[in-house]
Amino acid sequence: MTNFSITNLHPKLADFKSDVIEGLSQEQKRLLPIYFYDEEGSRLFDQICELDEYYPTRTEMKILTQNASAINDLISEPATIIEYGSGSSTKISSLLANSQKIKSYVPIDISLEHLKKSSLDLAENYRRLDVRAFCADYTDQDSLQNIANDDDGNSKIIFFPGSTIGNLAVNDAIALLKNSRILTKGLGQFLLGIDLIKDQERLVAAYDDAQGVTAAFNKNILVRINRELGANFDLDGFSHEAIFNSELNRMEMHLRSLKDQKVELLGQEFTFTNGESIHTESCHKYSLDTFEQFVNKAQMTCQNIFTDENQDFAVVMLRYLDNDL
């Protein structure tokens, strides 16, 4: 297919190994959420996005669809959309269907097979579009530089939907925004979704659905560690838990040990007491005021803010305050 290419920048298994060992060696054991997304994890996350309890996906899609024309008016022509964590590339369609300004689409995802299928499907549906996919970690500066070297000369819009920026610690999120300058050279724009503060009961339900899909998604990271790193996690010995941390305004996902147990991993032994948890993900929730203060620390500002009628979610167009890399 002439309008499609894919480049594998080979996210390293060695990083996975060292990150897992480092995380399980902490007093509060943790695993990085980037490792959720093997092929099975990506499939399960797609299921989560369809759940009744999981409001972010459908709310963000509604905002994007209703405001596609206004977003298009903010974009310079010709434009390239670079999507961080593209997954199934479903949300980008709301923008592509309403814009002839977008000439190229660059999806970035760490799940190679999932990326290949979704970006091929999109290239087939939008034959006018140049689709150049990269299997990479969008938080890695070397990977961003490799992608930046594939410059088509168009204006750049980075697209980061799904409130995924809320998964990052504050300093890491600021670093991600700053590092986007590698791709945009401090020009262009950054379009992202953020989840807004709301009733705790709704938040907990969104991360602990009645069908248990989120629980399977959370525990799949242990399945992956067993398969790829030769660990012996007892999957029945851990339960999924979703809690709201009111002090930090974030949802947290944990895997809680149901017994005293030991896990062997690459010649090391990790001990879990009954009730001890592995912190697998944080999902920060924002007010619009605190988010604007937050992006200012990355030398960016909110150009436009689009929300739903209940202000459950926001899609924000950011611009850079200067051209310094």
- Condensed to tens digits (0 to 9), the pLDDT of residues 83-100 reads 999 988 999 998 998 788
Query: In angstroms, rounded to a whole number, what is the distance separating the alpha carbons of residues 239 and 287?
Result: 31
% of residues, the chain, pLDDT over 90: 87
Nearest to 38 by CA among 315, 285, 229: 229
> What pLDDT, on a 0 to 100 scale, did the predictor assign at position 325?
45
Residue 322: pLDDT over 90: no
Q: What is the pLDDT of residue 88?
A: 87
- CA 201 from centroid of its chain's CA atoms: 23
Return the pLDDT at 320.
Answer: 94
Over residues 183-229, the pLDDT tens digits come to 998 889 999 999 999 999 999 999 999 999 999 999 999 999 999 99
State the Cα–Cα distance between residues 23 and 63, nearest whole angstrom: 36
The chain-wide mean pLDDT, for the chain, equals 94
CA triplet 108, 110, 115: central angle to 5 degrees? 65
Q: Give the residue ranges of DSSP H helices in the chain.
A: 13-24, 39-48, 55-66, 68-74, 92-96, 112-125, 141-148, 170-179, 181-184, 200-206, 213-229, 288-296
Largest CA distance in the chain: 60
pLDDT digits (tens, 9 = 90+) for 19-40: 999 999 999 999 999 899 888 9
In the chain, % of residues over pLDDT 70: 98
Q: How many CB atoms lie within 10 A of CB 285?
A: 21
Q: What is the DSSP letter of 197?
A: P
The per-residue pLDDT for range 91-136, each reduced to its tens digit, is 999 899 878 899 999 999 988 888 999 999 999 999 999 999 999 9
Q: What is the CATH number of domain 54-198+286-320?
A: 3.40.50.150
Q: What's the sign of the alpha-carbon dihedral 292, 294, 298, 299?
A: positive
Q: How far apart, in Å, do the first and last CA atoms of the chain sit?
A: 35
The mean pLDDT of 48-75, rounded to a whole number, is: 95
For residue 237, the tally of other CB atoms under 10 A from its CB is 17
The answer to whether residues 80 and 155 touch, using CB atoms and an 8 Å cutoff, is yes
Is the pLDDT at 296 greater than 70, yes or no? Answer: yes
pTM beyond 0.85: the answer is yes
Q: SS3 for 42? A: helix
Tens-digit pLDDT profile for residues 274-287: 999 999 999 999 99
Q: What is the model's pLDDT at position 2?
A: 75
Give the model confidence (pLDDT) of 161-177 as tens digits: 999 999 998 899 999 99
The pLDDT value recorded for residue 13 is: 60
Calpha distance 187→276 (Å, rounded): 46
Nearest residue to 54 (alpha-carbon basis) of 325, 245, 251, 270: 251
Domain boundary assignment for the chain: 19-48+200-284, 54-198+286-320
